[in-house]
Amino acid sequence: MDTSDAIDHALEHNTSWETLHLAGETIYLNRVIDPEKLLNVISEEAFDADERLPYWSEIWPSAVALAEYILASREEFRDKNILEIGCGLGLTGLAATIAGGRVLFTDHDPHALLFTARSFEKNFSRPAQVELLDWRELRDKRRFDMILAADVLYETRWLEPVIQVIDNKLIPGGTALVAEPNRTIARSFFDLVKEKGWQHQSMLKQTRVSHKLHSVTIHRIITC
């Protein structure tokens, strides 16, 4: 059984619907009940090949914080073409859709896109726009008004690829909103942002997930 089939098996009877109440909105999110079951079926060979751990299966505080920000700032997203990278369960893109944006959800894991598509259809009664995206292989020339990224700055090897996504996928003067839980590794990313000459502002936000309070920084990056 390959890793994808093993994950499919681990997902059997391991999914549920969670109802989130954010900024006065109700969002239905298809989620994994026990993400540990997915971790246990990933082979050493698959991990060594690309270290593809099932991070997508968690509801991360950074995603919640960014979704709350979006819903509190709706005019900024109305009628915008938006790319969400590393969408995971798709929470921030769902919030941006509620705010009136047109969102393309992307992730490198097809299981993440499956869960996102289910959630989108339940919330909006229409199909989602979802695509597999490897940040290291940007093959088309489409550009977007905005990019959303929640908790994608977790390994050094991904910092430069995220910079490349912003550089290649935003229109000139476009905005990327990057939410992260104040990891030390993120500092190197913002050094790269400075080298690019892009504008950078940040705001600290407190958000509550699973009855715990978390500090998340939301960074606004505006390209030249």
What's the pLDDT at 3? 52
- Higher pLDDT, residue 126 or 14: 126
CB 220 within 8 A of CB 75: no
Q: Is residue 14 part of a domain?
A: no
Would you say residue 11 has pLDDT above 80?
no
Q: Is residue 28 part of a domain?
A: no
What's the pLDDT at 61? 98
Q: How wide is the angle at C-alpha 84 spanned by C-alphas 37 and 111, nearest 5°? A: 25
Using one digit for the tens of pLDDT, what is the confidence trace for 185-201?
999 999 999 999 999 99
Q: Is residue 178 part of a domain?
A: yes
What's the pLDDT at 55? 83
Q: Is residue 133 part of a domain?
A: yes
Using one digit for the tens of pLDDT, what is the confidence trace for 89-126?
999 999 999 999 999 999 999 999 999 999 999 999 99
Local confidence band at 36 (pLDDT 50, 70, 90 cut-offs)? confident
Would you say residue 220 has pLDDT above 90?
yes
Q: Is residue 5 part of a domain?
A: no
Q: Is residue 21 part of a domain?
A: no
Q: Is residue 110 part of a domain?
A: yes
What's the pLDDT at 52? 59
Q: Which helix (H) or strand (E) holds 212?
A: strand 212-222
Q: Is residue 23 part of a domain?
A: no
Q: CATH no. for residue 148?
A: 3.40.50.150
Local confidence band at 41 (pLDDT 50, 70, 90 cut-offs)? low
Local confidence band at 13 (pLDDT 50, 70, 90 cut-offs)? low
CB 160 within 8 A of CB 153: no
- Higher pLDDT, residue 52 or 75: 75
Q: Render 155-210 in DSSP notation, one character per residue.
A: SGGGHHHHHHHHHHHEEEEEEEEEEE---TTHHHHHHHHHHHT-EEEEEEEEEEET
Q: Could you tell me the residue range of the domain that residue 217 belongs to?
A: 55-222
- In angstroms, rounded to a whole number, what is the distance separating the alpha carbons of residues 77 and 198? 20
CB 28 within 8 A of CB 94: no
In the chain, how many domains are there? 1
What's the pLDDT at 37? 74
